[in-house]
A and B are shown apart, each in its own frame.
Chain A
Amino acid sequence: MVTTTAATGAGAAGAPDVRPRRRIVARPAAWFVWGAVIFFFLNLLGVVGSVLVSSFGQRWFNSWLPDGYTSKWYGEAWTEFALFQVIKVTLEVSLLVVGLSLLIGVPAAYVLARRNFPGKRTIYLVFLLPILMPPITFGIPLATVLYKFGLAGHLSGVVLANLVPSVPFVILTMTPFIEQIDARIESAARMCGAGLRSVFLHVLAPLLLPGMLASAILVLVRTVGMFELTFLTAGPDSQTLVVALYYSMSAAGIRAQQSVDAMAVMYTAMMVVLLVIALRYVNPTQLVARVKEEPEP
């Protein structure tokens, strides 16, 4: 007993290298680190919270909190910004993008995961490029092309533009998932006389379903939040919620600040719902680490 307390005391006094680091050395550093994290979260809370409070506020000029509370801004935002139409478009675009990118991406991911063939690395790199490039860089030439073919300005153009980062994303998330499915299961099915079609339908599809669900949700979250590509290709009746929010913000002063805030809250609510659903199926870091395997230069 005595020796342990003495050792701890000595360690605390300044002999950091003899004791386990977690207890003693980290102490001031821990304060600093947790302080930084808490400061970050406080600011984040302030950023989200001020939008939320403002959207319910009657008038809010020069005080800590608004003068009174009301929910009228939501009704106003709903009619003023034609939000029903906007949300309908958002859902249509996202669901189409999710469906199409799975249809295109999963077979490619299957081949990339299972097979080895000449030029595989090149193909992989080409699939990676749209994720590594910032959306604005390829978005402007892409929008130009889509306008040339008369696709931009409509729902189809928005969907096509949003597919560009989504398909590679599906490929990148599905490839490691398929790699961990035992290839011998397929061989066994083939031996038992199943053709390629029934291997896919009866063996692979059930096994792939969880991975497909996860990547579908990730694509959904990213598409609803995708601003740049939708912004560059959307016409007046094909705006998604983020783009409508941007337009109402950049035309500030025309509408009451609070109704813009109300719209922002609706967007946040939509994202939070999606996020809650997503987190049931995927690991939070998957929402971030878009590139599972580092791109080899």
Chain B
Amino acid sequence: MTAATSTPAAESAGQPARAHWQHRLAERGVDRQLWLLTPALLFVVLLFLYPFFYGLGLSFQPTEGRPFSDYARFFSDAYQRATIWTTLGLSLPAALLNVVASVPIAYRMRGRFRGKRLVTILLVVPITLGTVLTAQGLLNFLGPTGWFNRVLTAVHLTDEPIRLIHNYWGVFFSLIITGFPFAFLLVLSYLSGIDPTLERAAATLGAGWWQRFRVVTLPLLMPGLATTFCLTFVLAFSVFPSAVLVGNPAGETRVISIAAYQAAYEQYDYPYASAIAMIMGLIELVVISVVLFARTRFYTGSTGGKG
């Protein structure tokens, strides 16, 4: 419908008098139809690129001091600097565990079996519920009088309740509950894209299951695993609600997004908050580019299958 409304604008832009350069452009694929892109481009520029560069500029205009003093302030304050390690200490193990645990499970489940759709639907549930509800559930479930500790006590694995909330583990579990299904479904779709005949061929040549997995399937899967790791890491890296609710936001789980939030909404120091957000984005980009660089070293061509 926008298309229809944007065509008059496109038509008025095309004047027959200047046909020849229009022809030349059209040969390279530029013509009036590209006007359909304008709403989306305007949107991206106004709502994404402009705020981003505005924030970037703002981070170099601190309320007091030299252009870089907000960055210097962040890195010289041990309490703030520690948030980087806290965030990485939570998100890297969680993302890694999510991806590594998904592989054997997805490997088992890639074929057709009854109830596969049910399993996928059940796995989608925690993703759609989101971190806030998961946090609420974890507080009840893992709390000192929650069902989890009750079961542990009932089977005599422990004498007194283990402390699982308001510390590192609460946040870690919330990252697993929302992150694992996400990683699993991605890995599953990558795995089912690998042509099963390749593995059968390897079996014909006498390869055992471990050899088949390690030499045939895993190398083909590696690029997909790298991408999955990146996406899971992004989710885990920006953990905010669960770090506040199930974690210990003043200590163990004071992640970098809490630092940014506090600067913006508790101290109203927007330049400092933007600086922290930029640092956060930068660290994340560094991790992702390391993984994606490693990814280029794997075979990324066609797997000969439907994927």
Q: Which residues of A contact B (CB under 8 A)?
A: 16-17, 21-22, 25-26, 29-30, 32-34, 36-37, 40-41, 43-44, 46-48, 50-51, 54, 61-62, 64, 103-108, 110-112, 114-118, 123, 126-127, 129-130, 132-138, 140-146, 160-161, 163-164, 167-168, 171, 196-197, 200-201, 205, 221, 225, 227-228, 231-232, 242, 245-246, 249-250, 260-261, 264, 267-268, 271-272, 274-275, 279, 284-285, 287-291, 294-295, 297
Q: Is B155 an interface residue (CB 8 A)?
A: no
Contacts A46-B147, A50-B137, A137-B281 hold; do A284 and B29 have CB atoms under 8 A apart?
no
Name B105-121 residues within 8 Å CB distance of A: 105, 108-109, 111, 117, 119-121
Interface of B is mostly: helix
B36: chain A residues within 8 A (beta carbon): 107-108, 110-111
Partner of A17, one of B130, B209, B223, B274: B209
CB neighbours (8 Å) of A118 from chain B are 28-30
Contacts of A64 in B (CB 8 A): 147, 150
| Cβ contact within 8 Å between A103 and B2 | yes
The CA-CA distance from A127 to B40 in the complex, in Å, is 8
* Number of interface residues, chain B, beta carbon within 8 A: 106
0/1 string, B131-154, CB within 8 A of A gives 1: 111111110110001111010000
Residues in A with CB closer than 8 Å to B40 are 104-105, 107-108, 127, 167, 171
Q: How far is the CA of A127 from the CA of B48 in the complex (A)?
A: 10
B residues sitting closer than 8 Å to A (CB atoms) are 1-4, 6-7, 28-30, 33-34, 36-37, 39-41, 43-44, 47-52, 54-56, 58, 101, 104-105, 108-109, 111, 117, 119-138, 140-141, 145-148, 150, 177, 180-182, 185-186, 188-189, 203, 206-209, 212, 223-224, 227, 231, 234-235, 237-238, 240-241, 244-245, 257, 260-261, 264-265, 270, 273-274, 276-277, 280-281, 284, 289, 292-293, 295-296
Q: Is the CB of B29 within 8 A of A47?
A: no
Distance of A133 Cα from B119 Cα, bound (Å): 29
Q: For residue A132, which residue of chain B has the nearest CB?
A: B234
B296 engages A44 (CB within 8 Å)? no
- Docked Cα-Cα span, A194 to B295, in Å, equals 47
Let me know if A117 and B117 touch, CB within 8 A: no
Chain B residues contacting A164 (CB-CB under 8 Å) are 47-48
Bound CA span A96–B74, Å: 38
State the 8 A-B residue pairs at the shortest beta-carbon distance, nearest first. A141-B55, A134-B238, A47-B137, A108-B40, A50-B140, A117-B29, A107-B36, A17-B208
* A29 x B28 contact (CB < 8 A): no
State A245–B136 Cα separation when bound (angstroms). Answer: 9
| Contact status of A141 and B54, CB under 8 A, knowing A107-B6, A160-B47, A275-B125 | yes
Would you call A21 and B209 a contact (CB within 8 A)?
Answer: yes
The minimal Cβ–Cβ distance linking B253 to chain A, given in whole angstroms, is 14
A138-B52, A196-B3, A196-B7 known; 11 other A-B pairs, CB under 8 Å? A26-B209, A104-B39, A107-B39, A118-B29, A133-B281, A137-B281, A144-B264, A161-B47, A196-B33, A232-B264, A297-B295
Rounded to whole angstroms, the CA-CA distance of A285 and B189 in the bound complex is: 8
Kindly list chain B residues whose C-beta atoms are within 8 Å of the C-beta of A171.
Answer: 40
Nearest B residue to A195 by beta-carbon distance? B7
Contact of A221 among B50, B128, B138 (CB under 8 A): B128
Tell me, in angstroms, the Cα distance from A112 to B33 when the chains sit together.
Answer: 11
Measured CB to CB, the nearest residue on chain B to A148 is B54
**A163 x B43 contact (CB < 8 A):** yes
Cross-chain contact B260 with A136 (CB below 8 angstroms): yes
Knowing A17-B208, A64-B147, A264-B136 are in contact, say whether A140-B264 is a contact too (CB < 8 A): yes
| A225 close to B4 (CB less than 8 A) | no
Interfacial chain B residues near A227, Cβ < 8 Å: 130-132, 240-241
Name the residue of chain B whose CB is nearest to the CB of A138.
B52
CB-based nearest A residue for B265: A232
B44 near A117: Cβ-Cβ < 8 Å: no
If the complex has contacts A108-B40, A117-B30, are A138 and B130 also in contact, measured as CB distance less than 8 A? no
